[in-house]
A and B are shown apart, each in its own frame.
Chain A
């Protein structure tokens, strides 16, 4: 009997591979963990707001994609990750970097093009990296880091290393061939990967409905590639945490890779610190509806109503974060620019490795 015939005869078994998963009645994180997630979400928000406030200085001279409105996925996912786990991201990566433990000073200095930046000023906002934190890189070409992340997961599996890889990308990246190729390979080899799609409905200014079939969501792409999938509210930190707990657990136990689709919304313009409602590609009513579902303010309300967070504790939390941010900007602006020699230094790897993978 040929393999081909076997496949036909066991057609139903084949279709019983990883499917769409729904989560109901799962437990919540502990109060301490929820408080920590809120703090991280607030921190990401405040960092982004400070970048927005200072952007007009014209000293951060690189394409910068602000993640305000999309804080919940990185915070809820990273709550389940260890330092040894790897994270890859794309262009809108500040939240992913910070939530994974990426160094804030290194990030701000990178935006300012200083030699103390996390990529020595050579990469900018679109190429954040922090090897010590397990944040292995980010790149702006859609889907380009998805296959690289899958490769890192394959390396981990081949070597029997106890780590998973989380790859963040937007809805636009799911239209790239590289996304499907990487998902297929992850499915074939049951790699320890969690694919996290932050579906914010727009690729730059192009709406989802003109880019993808109306009756197919991103999550449905998972199972056809052997990747289990689930989708949910990407603005609710508790929901993200629950979904991520499941997805990370499946990947860590080596059962199958998982695709998680989070519905969320970008508040600022695609690239840069400004508002962009004036462009007319998205409506005011839609925008306000999403703003009313602010992941940070919404979660604060929940935690306060459950008396996990109090007003005075919140005030001192904000003060602490503001101090940390202020010191990061001071550090960045006091740091030197790279010397001329830095330009040719890293074209080919002839110098000793400057950092090591954790």
Chain B
């Protein structure tokens, strides 16, 4: 099942199981259905449970919060995270704090789906990875499912959870397939997963960058380096125990994130490991992420902007003090590098 179909299935499971659940967002019941992730849900569950809304991201987040404190379980969808910036007041000042500031009497069980991406000319305002903003706010839980199984299962768990949950979905994962359990199959909203065992270096990634870490591990295995790959899955909490155990074994760490490196989640993971596992580290860890510039639109610059598996592999070789050079990159299967695969025609 694709990641996208898994998201759709997760929402369908929640709508079927929880009468108080509903899905709302600009274009949710529309003909394209949030890149297909809500396609057909309105037909299946009715227009009263799968809803469009006014173009009022801020006000509607407050409205959705108002239904949540009264016991409903909304799923609010932002087709691009950049539009959710309009809702920061309702998310940061209100939803994150209603349980705390009323001394535990209020609950705000809202799930907010935010879609991020890269490439295909998304440019400065259609492409940002703002997960660290939200993770910085106590009271919000921020997760980034990488696999189809998590896309479905973490969405189900988010709807069940009484805290406000922000789910970041990477558009380049939508067509990636994976094993997904049938039916109502929640996955935990904490804990990382080891996707590839290795002994020489730990490559820990968030979201789409986990795939790049796996590809980097393949490149590295070609030169005899055995990399361990961890899917971090959650920003709050970060699974420091699992990353620590891996670093104890490998002594080397690279953290890859879809966002800017500065003040980002990769920095947080690195700091935690340095604080807790300093003696286990044989070399200083490295972070791989975006440079500190807004996203350029032209594919010519985007090629330089987004880190790839090769960048991760190169960083790994730097840490390990490897003196050789990687064999030249094989010619790309398609002319452009700003799409996940040649079938991708944009826009998104």
Q: Are A178's CB and B59's CB within 8 A? A: yes
Residue of A nearest to B62 (CB): A147
| Complex interface residues of chain A between 312 and 358 (CB less than 8 A to chain B) | 345-349, 351, 353-355, 357
Q: A92 on the interface (CB 8 Å rule)?
A: no
Q: A242 on the interface (CB 8 Å rule)?
A: no
Q: A148 on the interface (CB 8 Å rule)?
A: yes
Q: Are A182's CB and B59's CB within 8 A? A: yes
Q: Are B101's CB and A127's CB within 8 A? A: yes
CB of B244, distance to nearest CB on chain A (Å):
22
| Complex interface residues of chain B between 52 and 82 (CB less than 8 A to chain A) | 53-54, 56, 58-72
Instruction: Please indicate the chain A residues that have their CB under 8 angstroms from the CB of B100 in the complex.
Output: 122, 346-347
Q: Mark A128-153, 1 if CB is under 8 A from B, else 0.
A: 01010000110101001111111111
- Please measure, in the bound complex, the distance between the C-alpha atom of A172 and the C-alpha atom of B65, giving whole angstroms: 22
Q: A177 on the interface (CB 8 Å rule)?
A: yes
Instruction: Please indicate the chain B residues that have their CB under 8 angstroms from the CB of A152 in the complex.
Output: 66-67, 69-70
Q: Are B101's CB and A151's CB within 8 A? A: no
Instruction: Please indicate the chain B residues that have their CB under 8 angstroms from the CB of A150 in the complex.
Output: 59, 62-63, 66
Instruction: Please indicate the chain B residues that have their CB under 8 angstroms from the CB of A39 in the complex.
Output: none
- Please measure, in the bound complex, the distance between the C-alpha atom of A351 and the C-alpha atom of B163, giving whole angstroms: 11
Instruction: Please indicate the chain A residues that have their CB under 8 angstroms from the CB of B138 in the complex.
Output: 347
- Please measure, in the bound complex, the distance between the C-alpha atom of A148 and the C-alpha atom of B62, giving whole angstroms: 5
Contacts A136-B69, A147-B90, A155-B67 given; indicate if A129 touches B62 (C-beta within 8 A): no
Instruction: Please indicate the chain A residues that have their CB under 8 angstroms from the CB of B65 in the complex.
Output: 147-148, 151
Residue of A nearest to B107 (CB): A349
- Please measure, in the bound complex, the distance between the C-alpha atom of A147 and the C-alpha atom of B48, giving whole angstroms: 19
CB of B165, distance to nearest CB on chain A (Å):
10
CB of B37, distance to nearest CB on chain A (Å):
24
**Pick the contact of A137 from B58, B90, B98, B162 — CB < 8 Å?**
B98
- Please measure, in the bound complex, the distance between the C-alpha atom of A139 and the C-alpha atom of B96, giving whole angstroms: 13
- Please measure, in the bound complex, the distance between the C-alpha atom of A127 and the C-alpha atom of B61, giving whole angstroms: 19
Instruction: Please indicate the chain B residues that have their CB under 8 angstroms from the CB of A158 in the complex.
Output: 48, 67, 72
CB of A222, distance to nearest CB on chain B (Å):
16
Q: B175 on the interface (CB 8 Å rule)?
A: no
- Please measure, in the bound complex, the distance between the C-alpha atom of A348 and the C-alpha atom of B99, giving whole angstroms: 7
Q: A156 on the interface (CB 8 Å rule)?
A: yes
Q: Are A119's CB and B66's CB within 8 A? A: no
- Please measure, in the bound complex, the distance between the C-alpha atom of A122 and the C-alpha atom of B101, giving whole angstroms: 5
Residue of B nearest to A117 (CB): B103
Residue of B nearest to A153 (CB): B66
Instruction: Please indicate the chain A residues that have their CB under 8 angstroms from the CB of B103 in the complex.
Output: 117-123, 129, 346, 354
| Complex interface residues of chain A between 139 and 186 (CB less than 8 A to chain B) | 139, 141, 144-156, 158, 177-178, 180-182, 184-185
Contacts A144-B62, A181-B56, A349-B163 given; indicate if A151 touches B102 (C-beta within 8 A): no
Q: A188 on the interface (CB 8 Å rule)?
A: yes
- Please measure, in the bound complex, the distance between the C-alpha atom of A151 and the C-alpha atom of B110, giving whole angstroms: 12
Q: Are A129's CB and B60's CB within 8 A? A: no
Q: Are B63's CB and A154's CB within 8 A? A: yes
Q: Are A123's CB and B104's CB within 8 A? A: no
Residue of B nearest to A140 (CB): B93
CB of A127, distance to nearest CB on chain B (Å):
5
| Complex interface residues of chain B between 36 and 61 (CB less than 8 A to chain A) | 48, 53-54, 56, 58-61
- Besides A141-B89, A147-B90, A158-B67, 9 more A-B contacts (Cβ < 8 Å) are A119-B103, A129-B105, A144-B94, A147-B63, A154-B63, A158-B72, A180-B59, A181-B56, A182-B63
The 4 closest A-B pairs by CB, nearest first: A151-B66, A181-B59, A147-B62, A120-B103
Residues of B at the A interface (CB closer than 8 Å) are 48, 53-54, 56, 58-72, 89-90, 93-94, 98-107, 138-139, 141, 162-163
Q: List 29 A-B contacts (CB under 8 A).
A: A121-B103, A122-B101, A122-B102, A127-B101, A129-B102, A129-B105, A144-B89, A144-B93, A147-B58, A147-B90, A148-B90, A150-B66, A151-B66, A151-B70, A152-B67, A152-B70, A155-B70, A156-B70, A158-B72, A178-B90, A181-B56, A182-B63, A184-B56, A345-B104, A347-B100, A347-B138, A347-B139, A349-B163, A355-B105
